[in-house]
Amino acid sequence: MTKPSGTILDGAKRRGRRPEAQDGPSTPFLPFTRPTIDEETIQGVAEVLRSGWLASGPNVKKLEAALSEYFGGRPVRTQMHATASLEHALLVAGIGPGHEVITPAMSFVATANVIVRVGARPVFVDVGLDSRNIDFDRVEAAITPRTRAIMPVHFAGLPVDMERLYAIAGRHRLRVIEDAAQAIGSCWRGRRIGSFGDLVCFSFHPNKNLTTIEGGCIVGGSPQELSQLELHRFHGQSKLAADEVDTLFAAGKANLSDVAARVGLGQLASLERFNARRRELAARYFSLWGHDAPVRLPARGDEGHNWHMFAPLLPLERLRISRLQFIEQMAERGIGVGVHYASAIHLFTAYRALGYREGQFPNAERIGRETVTLPLFPAMELSDVDRVVEATTDVLKGAAK
């Protein structure tokens, strides 16, 4: 799951101004997410710009080394975006035409698109209604002689059951490409996602817990796979000497810039603090809504959840308004609401063309209809959560049938 979709209604709101139609004293508009970039990082970017080395260079090497240390010494290779990370991981794992990859029906569409792009077929499995993660009770039934890999998604940063995942993969000799786009800093039973496992892909999009503006990385891989990853991110070219190169295969281009890497270095230094704040904010949502929430709350997880986003479900069957009208009414109250994600993947035209149809994955379809993303980012105050809870409760109470 890479670049997120979301809903913010106009440019004025994106710039942080309260809608002019709102009466009363001016209150800053609260978006559903916003990156935190400190002044030291901004100064560091200025230094990179002055250096004259803007493409992949010393800062990319520093970021890969720092990420490797963060993940317990495992190898790391960066890409321009996590979509490339996922696609390259599939390619170096040998996934291609005639193969199948099992993946959840609820994610950002890039999760499935990369499978199609390498010539394989995505085989969708439904998800848990509250966890939004792939339902392992249904995974083994989806395995066929053509299955070569499982691509789970750690939705909103909530880790999947890693024991079950790798037990299934081991029994059936399958590769695992983890879509950990939203999971940097999340832990499974005390171990960081990415510090173990097969090939693990992270996103550094501006909405993620750590951003490089745009970017991604792959953690793990054999020495041969690491060499292949380096080729895939720069035209398949191998430098033989200062004046001689060879192109080993027709690859694309997805190398991270030094400007982006310098942002990432500043972000990585603050990641644990950012995630701790996200956990505090999520805990505030649960505390205020308790056991009588007007929405269906997401699975809470444990202290290992990085809380990339807070995405409850609206009780639309009990409301006189649509999801769009809820978003509009929240915007009138100065609060931005996102949608992650507005449809189960199998319902898109591109995947209906593969034979998928409505009704196959009911949990994913319900999530697509009812989900909203409420504000959650490190710069928020606990009082901002109070404001969101009060506004949400007020809107839904007024819209009840």
- pLDDT tens digits, 126-161: 999 999 999 999 999 999 999 999 999 999 999 999
Q: What is the pLDDT of residue 21?
A: 40
Rounded to an integer, the average pLDDT of 245-254 is 96
Provide the 8-state DSSP code for 252.
-
**Active site residue: 208, 253, 397, 401, which one?**
208
Question: CA-to-CA distance for 73 and 53, rounded, in angstroms?
Answer: 27
Burial of 359 (0-12, 13-18, 19+ CB in 10 A): exposed
Residue 340 CB neighbours (<10 A):
27
Answer yes or no: is pLDDT of 12 > 50: no
Which pLDDT score, from 0 to 100, does residue 25 have?
53
Residue 113 makes CB contacts below 8 A (sequence gap 6+) with: 83, 350
- From the list 108, 60, 5, the residue with the least C-alpha distance to 217 is 60
Bridge-based pairing of strands 175-179 and 147-150 is parallel
Count of CB atoms situated within 10 Å of the CB of 235 = 17
Tally of CB atoms within 10 A around 163: 11
> What backbone torsions phi and psi does residue 338 show, to the nearest 5 degrees?
-105, 175
Q: How many CB atoms lie within 10 A of CB 202?
A: 31
User: What pLDDT, on the 0 to 100 scale, is given for residue 277?
Assistant: 98
Q: How far is CA 139 from CA 166, 233, 255, 279, in A?
A: 12, 32, 34, 30
**CATH number for the domain running over 39-264:** 3.40.640.10
Average pLDDT, integer, range 10-21? 40
Q: Record the pTM.
A: 0.93
Helix axes 258-289, 58-70, angle to 10 degrees: 40
pLDDT > 80? residue 391: yes
Calpha distance 286→81 (Å, rounded): 33
What are the residue ranges spanned by the domains of the chain? 11-35+270-399, 39-264
Whether the pLDDT of residue 23 is over 70: the answer is no
The tokens describing 346, both together, are: 């199998």
Residue 208 appears among annotated catalytic residues? yes
- pLDDT by residue (tens digit) across 73-115? 999 999 999 999 999 999 999 999 999 999 999 999 999 999 9
Q: What gap in Å lies between CA 179 and CA 4, rounded to an integer?
A: 13
Amino acid at 365: E
pLDDT tens-digit readout, 347-369: 999 999 999 999 999 999 999 99
pLDDT digits (tens, 9 = 90+) for 303-334: 999 999 999 999 999 999 999 999 999 999 99
Q: Quick one: average pLDDT of 174-190?
A: 98
The half-sphere exposure of 104 on its side-chain side, counting CA atoms within 13 A, is 32
Assigned CATH class of 11-35+270-399: alpha beta
Residues 6+ apart with CB under 8 A from 60: 78, 255, 256, 257, 258, 261
